[in-house]
């Protein structure tokens, strides 16, 4: 029996270590910086992040997925610090990252931002016809023990107080190329993005603007699992397509400390293949403020057979 385990964290909003220069705040960042001082710095701190790193290492999952919002203001120092944190957890080959809206808070030059995460966002499948390393590195495809990890970027700069996302035509076209390639293989396919695929609210101002185009693709090409962050809460929804039902898991911030302990958690997926059929179990690792440790509970689902 083939087995593979994945830990899924999101929305760390890592503490800002270096004070921004004044010229770096003459844009939308000033709003985020004020929000950081009034709110986020009190609930996202180094202590929970240290406990999270220790627990992830103790769990020893085969792979780590980070579904966005590692940083706050898209400062270059933040990208560098986030990369240092990831290196404490595991080697780059065992980590996959997609950016969130805070990782693209304003328009940033690639060489001063995402380049610092290049080892976590690159395709490792040698298919030059489909995949070329460019500044737009998304979507990417990684294959680990017959598990296909597909990373999409939904992160785009937005107006103040808006946090919607968009995939765009170029990524959607490349994503279809990936799906065509994977349709010929019996892989367990996981799609990773920051924004949820379902609309959020009447105007979808926090959601994915072109979610309908992604849903149309998923109607034609099946995947087994969709993982996202963004909402800062546990979320289990199902996307019904022509040929299947796709489980979609969202998780809260994995570093947010407050009195409601269950709001700080991450998920662990135990994937297995038996008799050429795929299935998986899901566990929630919950942070307990009183003991500064994570405990585990199984997420009970209706039986899902892939």
Does the pLDDT value for residue 114 go beyond 60? yes
How far does Cα 296 stand from its chain's mean position?
21
Distance CA 62, CA 94 (A): 7
- Residue 169: HSE in the Cβ half-sphere, 13 Å Cα cutoff: 0
Q: Is 169 exposed, middle or buried (0-12, 13-18, 19+ CB in 10 A)?
A: exposed
How far is the C-alpha of 267 from the C-alpha of 285, rounded, in Å? 6
Domains of the chain: 2-16+23-298 (3.60.21.10)
pLDDT > 90? residue 166 = yes
pLDDT tens-digit series, residues 116-151: 999 999 887 555 455 554 545 799 999 999 999 999
Mean pLDDT, the chain, whole residue set = 88
Whole-number Cα distances in Å, 300 to 89, 284, 287: 28, 10, 19
* Neighbour-count burial for 180-215, b at 16+ CB within 10 Å, e otherwise: ebbeeeebbbbbbbbbbbbebeeeeebbbbbbebbb
Q: How far apart are CA 72 and CA 25, in angstroms?
A: 13
Residue 248 · residue 197 · CB < 8 Å: yes
The model's pLDDT over 240-274, given as tens digits with 9 standing for 90+, comes to 999 899 999 999 998 887 665 457 899 999 999 99
- Please name the residue that has the structure tokens 């992830």: 56
Mind listing the pLDDT tens digit for each residue in 173-191? 999 999 999 999 999 999 9
| Per-residue model confidence as pLDDT tens digits over 56-84 | 999 999 999 999 999 998 888 999 999 99
CA-CA distance, 61 to 48, in Å (whole number)?
Answer: 19
Residue 305 confidence (pLDDT) above 50: no
The tally of CA atoms less than 13 A away on the side-chain side of residue 84 is 11
Radius of gyration over every alpha carbon of the chain, rounded to an integer in angstroms: 18
Q: Look-up: residue for tokens 């001082």?
A: 37
How wide is the angle at C-alpha 133 spanned by C-alphas 131 and 135, nearest 5°? Answer: 125
> With left for phi above 0 and alpha for psi between -120 and 50, is residue 79 left, alpha or beta?
alpha
Structure tokens at 210: 């072109």
Residue 253 structure tokens: 């911030």
Confidence tier at 110 by pLDDT (50, 70, 90): confident
Cα–Cα nearest to 70, from 101, 32, 111, 31: 101
Q: Give 37's DSSP letter.
A: I
Q: 109's torsion region: left (phi>0), alpha (psi -120 to 50) or beta?
A: beta
Distance of alpha carbon 215 from alpha carbon 201, whole angstroms: 18
């Amino acid at each position: 029996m083939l087995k593979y385990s994945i830990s899924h964290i999101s929305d760390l909003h890592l503490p800002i270590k270096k004070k921004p220069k004044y010229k770096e705040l003459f844009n939308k960042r000033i709003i985020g910086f004020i929000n950081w001082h009034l709110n986020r710095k009190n609930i996202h701190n180094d202590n929970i992040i240290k406990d999270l790193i220790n627990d992830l290492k103790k769990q020893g999952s085969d792979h780590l997925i980070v579904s966005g919002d590692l940083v706050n203001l898209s400062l270059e120092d933040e990208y560098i610090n986030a990369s240092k944190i990831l290196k404490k957890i595991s080697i780059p080959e065992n980590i996959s990252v997609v950016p969130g809206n805070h990782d693209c808070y304003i328009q940033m030059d690639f060489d001063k931002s995402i380049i610092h995460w290049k080892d976590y966002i690159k395709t490792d499948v040698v298919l030059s016809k489909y995949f070329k390393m460019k500044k737009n590195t998304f979507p990417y495809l990684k294959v680990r023990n017959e598990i296909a990890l597909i990373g999409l970027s939904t992160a785009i700069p937005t107006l103040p107080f808006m946090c919607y996302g968009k995939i765009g035509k170029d990524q959607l076209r490349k994503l279809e190329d990936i799906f065509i390639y994977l349709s010929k293989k019996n892989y367990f396919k996981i799609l990773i993005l920051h924004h949820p695929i379902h609309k959020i609210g009447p105007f979808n101002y926090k959601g994915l603007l072109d979610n309908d185009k992604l849903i149309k693709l998923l109607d034609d090409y099946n995947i087994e699992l969709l993982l996202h962050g963004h909402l800062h809460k546990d979320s289990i929804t199902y996307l019904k397509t022509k040929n299947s039902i796709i489980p979609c898991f969202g998780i809260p911030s994995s570093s947010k400390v407050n009195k409601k302990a269950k709001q700080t958690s991450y998920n662990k997926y135990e994937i297995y293949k038996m008799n050429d059929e795929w299935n998986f179990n899901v566990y929630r690792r919950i942070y307990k403020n009183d003991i500064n440790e994570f405990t585990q509970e199984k997420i009970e689902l209706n039986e899902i057979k892939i």
